[in-house]
Each structure stands twice: as C-alpha cells, then as structure tokens.
Amino acid sequence: MNSYDLIIVGAGIVGTACADYASEQGLRVAIVEPGTIGGGATAAAMGHLVAMDDDPAELALAHYSLQLWEAFTGVPQLEYSRCGTLWVAANEREYALIPTKIARLAAASIKAELIERERLYQLEPALAAGLAGGMLVAREAVIYPPAAARHFLDRALARGTVLHRSHATAINHTGLQLADHSLLSGPVLVATGCALPQLLPQLPMRARKGHLVITDRYPNLVHHQLLELGYADSAHGDADSSVAFNIQPRPTGQILIGSSREYGSTAADVSMATVTRMLQRCFRYLPALRQLQAVRIWTGFRPVSADGLPYLGRVPGQAEVWVAAGHEGLGVSTSLGSARLVIDQLLGRATAIDARPYDPARIAA
C-alpha cells in the first residue's frame, strides 16, 4: 500500500520538478515534505533564469533547462517575465572579456550580444556614469520560484502523486522511514538541498548564506536583470564572503537587490554589515537605489556541493537511492533539466545531455 515507483524527499523547486516529470512519465510517486512547499532555498531565491558560462557542464545544464522553462511562460502564477539579463562592464578590462563570453554562450546555442556604452545607457538610463558597456542575453527571464514549486507539485498531485507531510528520518534497504513511523517502500530520490547530509552523509554539502533586499514599487527604474560582469568572481570564487551588484525588476515594479555570499554562517539572521556592504556595491552601479524605500530584507542558504556542480544521479553503492541536490545559486534555473537528467537515468533512458559531470560517484567513490 505504501509502495511507490519513486519516493522523492524534499518539495523545493528541484524535488517538485522531479515529481512533475516522474509522474508525467507514468511513475507512481510519493513526495515527502514536512514544511512549506518551496519554503527553503526556493523561497529565498531571486528566481532569475540564467546561464553562467564559466563551466561547460553547468552551461549545458542551464541551456537545457532554460529551453524546458519555455513551456511555463504562460502560467500566470509563475509571474514569468522575459526581462533579459544585462551584464554590466565597469571598465575596459571587463568590456574586453565580453566577446569570449559571447562565443562560449554561442557554443551552447545561447544568443548574447555586445552592448556598446551608448546603447547601455539607452537600455538602462539609471546606471551610473562611466561604465564601459555590457552584454545582453535577451531571452533570459525571471519567475517567482515558490509559486513554480507549488505549480509543479499541483501537476504531480493531479496525476496521483501522494504528498507525505512528515520528516524523512532514514533510508533503509526497502525505502524510506518517516518520523510518523510509516515506512514507504520503493526507490528514494533525495532532493533536500542543504539538508542532504542528514540522509546522505557521504555527499558533502555546505550552506552559502545570501541576503536579498526588496524595495517598494518603482516601475520602470530598471528594465533588465542587471549584474556586474565581475559577478562570477563572487559567485564561483571561494572567498569566505563576497558581494556583487545583482538587481532584478519584479513584474510588480519592485526591485530585488542582491547579492551576497558567505560561508561559515549558519544563522538566518540578517547581518546589517553584509547588507550595507552589498548595498554600497549596488549604489556604485545604480545610484538611484539610494533614494528608494526598502520593505523587506531576508536571508537564504545555497546548497553547495564538494565541487560546485549538483549531484544528479544514483548514489554510489546504493542501487535504489538517487540524489538531485547541490545547485548552489542555480537551482531554480537548472531544476527542470536536473529533474529530467535524474529521472531519465532512473528509467534507464538516454539523457538529453551528458550526465557524467553530475554523477555523484565523482565525489563519494
């Protein structure tokens, strides 16, 4: 009776995307989530659907996923907005790097264009004077991530997926033990992000704290998701603490202001020192932000794997245990591709992109 074709642990954006796709493929699915649907890193995230070009595997997964997101552009509750991503070059050195980035993106079939200084200010008149130019990725978009998780779950539930509102306490040889003493039998897929080590201690996971600020409604101040080109240095560098200019116009007219990255902090409290540093960075690029009214500040934790790439696939040494976790700041962008990569392997099918860079065996072996 409590037997399933797949038991998914965690109903964040990744777990719910897995439930959606697995149920669509005809599997009898259970999903285990004691908390809010999409209430962890998913709810804290910006919801920027973006491809980063600095790692070929990550880029392939992002491109695959961004294509899959196109199926959801018309779902109202997702608040899908194709604002595009405008990367801003602070100086000539950063501007000179853009053609290489455009070529890398083009190799992954993503169209990006060089934006000269004059056009940069036509696109975004509020940007600070003295910037060198930019790179526009016009097809990229933003969504509201917790609503996407809810939507994926609702689709799965409509196909007969069963939601268990309990904590998963242990994986055993027949399936999953829950805190309410029930036992679910079947293959287990763990998609619990930062909480992964509770069930799979052999797969290292670090939490990387971030802060976000959201303003009141100021429509048309900015039109694109704006990031500094040095963002990847902050995002993929290994510094204990870093900030980068990363601004998003919400469809409501509100402006979402990021970003910060910190290792070693496990408390969810807002650090005003970090927020100040982050805002000072953003004011340099967008001075008009100084005058605006912020309405909320919050924190979240990005799940970071041992090498920065998500664990997607079978857990080595455990035939019936699978994992989809460790996407750091790209979990929303790459959730749909991640789900397909894992479920297609589970079904013994060929995957649409090379699954080997994500094989958890690279770490746990």
Interface positions with other proteins (CB under 8 A)? 216-218, 252, 291-293
Query: What is the SS3 assignment for 362?
Result: helix
Can you tell me whether residue 187 is helix, strand or coil?
coil
**Closest CB 227 distance from other proteins, rounded Å:** 25
Q: How many CB atoms lie within 10 A of CB 345?
A: 18
- The CA distance from 76 to 87, in Å, is 27
**Cβ 289 to other proteins, closest distance in Å?**
12
* Sheet of 168-172, strand order: 168-172, 175-178, 183-185
Closer Cβ to other proteins, 122 or 252, answer by number: 252
Shorter beta-carbon distance to other proteins: residue 249 or 313? 249
Q: Are 85 and 53 in contact (CB under 8 A)?
A: no
Nearest distance from C-beta of residue 216 to other proteins, angstroms: 4
Q: Which is nearer to other proteins, 232 or 292 (CB)?
A: 292
The whole-angstrom separation of Cα 334 and Cα 58 is 9
Our CB check for other proteins shows the closer of 220 and 266 to be 220
Tally of CB atoms within 10 A around 80: 20
Give the shortest CB-255-to-other proteins separation in angstroms. Answer: 11
- Bridge partners (DSSP) of residue 303 are 207
Cβ distance to other proteins smaller for residue 82 or 217: 217
122, 239, 245, 249, 340 from 118: Cα distances, Å: 7, 34, 21, 22, 42
> Based on CB atoms, which residue is closest to other proteins, 217 or 349?
217
CB of 147 to other proteins, least distance (A): 17
In the complex, least distance from residue 245 CB atom to other proteins, rounded to whole angstroms: 21
Task: Could you list the beta-strand ranges (E) of 206-253.
Answer: 206-217, 225-228, 241-249
Using CB atoms within 10 Å of the CB of residue 206, give its burial: 0 to 12 exposed, 13 to 18 middle, 19+ buried: middle
Structure token pair of residue 5:
């074709």
Q: Which is nearer to other proteins, 121 or 218 (CB)?
A: 218
Q: Which of 8, 97, 20, 116 is nearest to 54 (CA)?
A: 97
Smallest gap, in angstroms, from Cβ of residue 128 to other proteins?
18
